Chains A and B, each alone.
Chain A
Amino acid sequence: MEADAEEAQRLATEARDRVRFEEDALALSDQVYRVARHLAASREDADELMQETYARAFRSWRSFQPGTNMRAWLLRILTNLNIDRGRRQQRAPQMQPLEANDYYLYDRLAENEDGVSDEDRVVERLSQDDIVTALSAVPHDFRDVIVLVDLGDFSYADAAQILDIPVGTVMSRLHRGRRILKRELAESALEEAS
């Protein structure tokens, strides 16, 4: 009799923990989506990946360690699913994308100004479309770290864990990725200007 009561108590506790886990995970979905949208190749892919991620998370909720970073845990699942869906992880990117120095974009945008420009508004020469297009043109190994660190506010260490790569690789890809992004932005802005 006592054993039955203990078992009932255990099940009730487990049910409560699971409900809380699901609620916490759902509460993070906006933040997860913000990152997932740009890790995925398209809006449709992001939609499917989110659903697969949450289905898997709800099934394997016991493997989440309470007190650790749940958003990073969810994105680790999402990244693995993204790779499983056919996107190969490039350990060493074969194509060496062209990158520009860090001042390049400013110099290109500013040289197109008519001389009476407001310095604070140089950035506004880029349209929202320019930015979205330029980000999607960055090869995915570089884009992943930009998305996690610059859009998702993950630390280098979290990004390394999510992508299963060393922290040094996160740092070098981030550095190069931002330069590639700026070169892409300069190209699209100049195309429009010409």
Chain B
Amino acid sequence: MKDPCAHCEEMMQPYMDHVLTDDELVQAEAHLDDCEYCRKRYKFEESLRVYVRQAVAEPMPAELRQKLAALRIPLD
């Protein structure tokens, strides 16, 4: 029998992506209910994903927006 926390770690990414099977989901949630060690790490992963998205978001420069609009093909 595999270490339950190691197994839970394996399920972390599919859990966050909502691609676990129903059985796996029940298994993961049962373990998370009981295990603070894994719960903390799942919570961290969740915040990390949001944090990464925010950190790398870069608005499109206004100049580029104008350049793209200028590429439109004029009507005859």
**What residues make up the interface of A, taking CB atoms closer than 8 Å to B?**
15, 18-19, 22, 26, 29-30, 33-34, 37-38, 43, 47, 50-51, 54-55, 58-59, 101-103, 105-106, 119-120, 122-124, 126, 128, 131-132, 135, 150-151, 174-175, 178, 181-182
A sample of 14 cross-chain residue pairs with beta-carbon separation below 8 angstroms, ordered by A number, consists of: A22-B73, A30-B59, A50-B68, A54-B68, A101-B9, A102-B10, A102-B41, A106-B41, A106-B45, A120-B43, A122-B44, A123-B44, A131-B51, A151-B56
Q: Is the CB of A58 within 8 A of B72?
A: yes
Closest to A30 in B: B60
A65 nearest CB across to chain B (Å): 19
Asked whether, in the complex, the Cβ of A55 is within 8 Å of the Cβ of B48, the reply is no
Q: A37-B56, A106-B41 are in contact. List 20 more A-B contacts (CB 8 A).
A: A26-B68, A29-B65, A34-B57, A34-B58, A38-B56, A50-B68, A51-B64, A58-B73, A59-B73, A102-B9, A103-B9, A106-B40, A122-B47, A123-B44, A123-B48, A126-B51, A135-B56, A150-B49, A151-B57, A181-B52
Q: A55 with B41: in contact, given A33-B60, A34-B57, A120-B47 (CB under 8 Å)? A: no
Give the number of residue pairs across the A-B interface with Cβ within 8 Å.
Answer: 91
Kindly state the separation between the CA atoms of A174 and B60 in the bound complex, as whole angstroms. 25
Q: Which residues of B contact A (CB under 8 A)?
A: 9-10, 12-13, 40-41, 43-45, 47-49, 51-53, 55-61, 64-65, 67-69, 71-73, 75-76
Report the Cα distance A8→B71, complex, angstroms: 25
Nearest chain B CB to A188 CB, angstrom units:
12
B71/A105 in contact, CB under 8 A: no
Across the two chains, which residue of chain B brings its CB closest to A129? B55
